Amino acid sequence: MLRAVRGGRAVWAPRGGSGSGSGGAKLGRPLRTLRTAAPQRSDIFRELGPRLSRLGQALRGQLPESEGAWNSLRPHQNSPPPPERADVVVVGGGVLGWSVAYWLKTLENRRHGMRVVVVERDPTYSQASTVLSVGGIRQQFSLPENIRLSLQSATFLRTINEHLWVPNEPPIDIQFQPSGYLFLASEHGAATLEAGVKVQREEGAKVALLSPSQLKAKFPWINTENVAVASYGLENEGWFDPWSLLNAFRRKAMSLGVYSCVGEVTSFVADTADNTPGMPRGVGRVKYVNVRLPDSPEQQPVSCAIVVAAAGAWTGKLLDSATAGLQGSLTLRRLPIEPRKRYVYVWHCPGGPGLETPFLIDTSGAYFRREGIAGNYLGSMSPPEGREPDAGNLEVDHDFFQEEVWPQLAHRVPAFRSLKVKSAWAGYYDYNAFDQNGVLGPHPQLPNVFVLGGFSGHGLQQSPAAGRVAAELLLHGSCAAVDVGRLAPGRLWGSEPLLEAAIV
């Protein structure tokens, strides 16, 4: 019987032998490092200020808890109330919200011609999907739209300092680790994986198919039992620091004039057939949003032309609650975007895979990647169908690792039969319960509410491209780079699901 001891050594009895196979394609081009271009600056005094600022932050972090000046300040205390009028209100200050805000200001025809406000209810980001994710980026999807969005996002990240660097600030380093993704498939999933690779290559992604023998030769630490074929990303895949990307978008957007506001959007006020002659029944147009200010019963109305609903896992709840007061002719259909809790475990294994370790997705759905260079790893898996954990809190179920995750990892990587669990956390997927794909476009019943969410685990990695696509659709009505018509919200009611086969 399995017993993983939290904080101690975990030992697992060996399973059966390993399988082998032959055939398959040879590896393509060698892995190419995804670099970030940093502006060249020789002015030492220009760099001195940011360094001193970081030193001050580090020193403040060492101060003891007290009621003094350092600890009495709350994150929202210096946040101004929202303006009374805006052109665009972005609800949600996660990476998707700040991405679309940045692109709206970057692509506007006239500098300072558009007033964009980002409203975030939790400035600490304690439950934000962005900062609680594992930070992966890949092009190994089954749908062309997802492949294109991730390819364009990888290009953006490769040249991030050309886009998001702010003068007089240090260059941006998102700590990208270009180790690739490695998907393993059994006989049952082989055809689906191979079909996905065909589409990925057609879209320009560099992906190799590996037979079990090729897989074993490249990664000797893998047990290839029950593996029929594997796909390995050769370029633009790996992982990075989500917090660095979020902060980079936020700083740059604010430098371009985007307003940042701490508060919660509680309701919409809209024109409907009940109060506006000539307005069709079943359709409305938001006139302003009500923003509840922190630690206050006060609500600030903000008139606006466009609302971007980018509240992550709470996008569905946002639209439910914000439109609850719209009575009569407008009954809004529910948006099936909801929070799904996912665990992430961190463990130490001195004899585990080395620096060449990719982001591995097992046939069982379990995954792991390297975390640093000192024998540390992180990973998990989604719960079995029908066993979703309670999303009302972010408590971690440590038994889930012992009973579900660890046996799969130890079978695939024998070195993981002995490991030490160090820590764990839980975060949220902004889960699209209809087809686990992103929702990107105007709401059919509220045409000036643009929905940007439901990416079900791949919103962070696609945020640079998704934000640009959203901005171009809002400003120009079309986007030449990526056709996202199939991702529009209208598909959620009455259409066939647009299923993505490669959801982790």
Instruction: Answer yes or no: are the C-beta atoms of 82 and 261 closer than 8 Å.
Output: yes
Rounded Cα–Cα distance for residues 293 and 315 (Å) = 19
Q: Burial letters for 349-363: b for 16+ Cβ neighbours within 10 Å, e otherwise? A: beebbeeebbbbbbb
Task: Report d(CA 99, CA 246) in Å as an integer.
Answer: 8
Ranges of residues in the chain with a pLDDT under 50 are: 1-54, 56-75
What is the Cα–Cα distance from 471 to 486, expressed in whole angstroms?
17
Q: How many helices (H) and strands (E) does the chain have?
A: 12, 20
Which residue is it, tokens 């009505």?
Answer: 477
The DSSP secondary structure of 349-363, one letter per residue, reads: -TTS--TT--EEE-T
pLDDT score recorded for residue 15: 39
Element (H, E) at 15: none
- Given a contact cutoff of 8 angstroms between Cβ atoms, the answer to whether 145 and 482 are in contact is yes
Contact 313, 389 (CB under 8 A): no
Residue 262 forms beta bridges with which residues? 120
As a whole number of angstroms, the distance between CA 475 and CA 87 comes to 11
Q: Give me the phi and psi of 377, to 5 degrees please.
A: -145, 155
- Residues near 40 by beta carbon (within 8 Å), at least 6 away in sequence: none
Alpha helices per DSSP H over 425-493: 459-476
Handedness of CA 317, 322, 327, 330 (dihedral sign): negative
What was the pLDDT predicted at 30?
Answer: 38
For 246-257, the three-class secondary structure string (H helix, E strand, C coil) is: HHHHHHHHHHCC
Residue 362 contacts residue 184 (beta carbons within 8 Å): yes
Q: What angle do CA 378, 153, 179 make, to 5 degrees?
A: 35
CB 333 within 8 Å of CB 320: no
Provide the sign of the torsion angle of the four alpha carbons 122, 123, 127, 128, taken in this order.
Answer: positive
Nearest residue to 115 via CA among 94, 101, 97, 98: 101
Return the ∠ at Cα 390 (arms to 389 and 396), rounded to 5°. Answer: 70
Length of the chain: 504
DSSP β-bridge partners for residue 380: 367
Q: Which of 477, 458, 485 is nearest to 146 (CA)?
A: 458
Query: CB neighbours (10 Å) of residue 334?
Result: 12
227 with 19: CB under 8 angstroms?
yes
CA–CA separation, 29 vs 183, rounded Å?
18
Q: What does the pLDDT look like over 320-344, one tens digit per residue?
A: 888 887 756 667 788 999 999 999 9
CA distances from 273 to 51, 117, 278, 305, 319 (A): 57, 28, 7, 18, 19
Rounded to two decimals, the pTM is 0.84
Count CB atoms within 10 A of the CB of residue 12.
18
Q: How far is CA 186 from CA 20, 134, 231, 454, in A?
A: 12, 25, 12, 28
How far CA 157 is from CA of 81, 150, 239, in Å, comes to 32, 10, 11
> Rounded to an integer, what distance in angstroms lies between the CA atom of residue 94 and that of residue 320?
20
Q: Please provide residue 481's backbone torsions phi and psi, each rounded to the nearest 5 degrees.
A: -70, -45
Both tokens of 448, joined, read 């000036």
- The whole-angstrom separation of Cα 131 and Cα 244 is 9
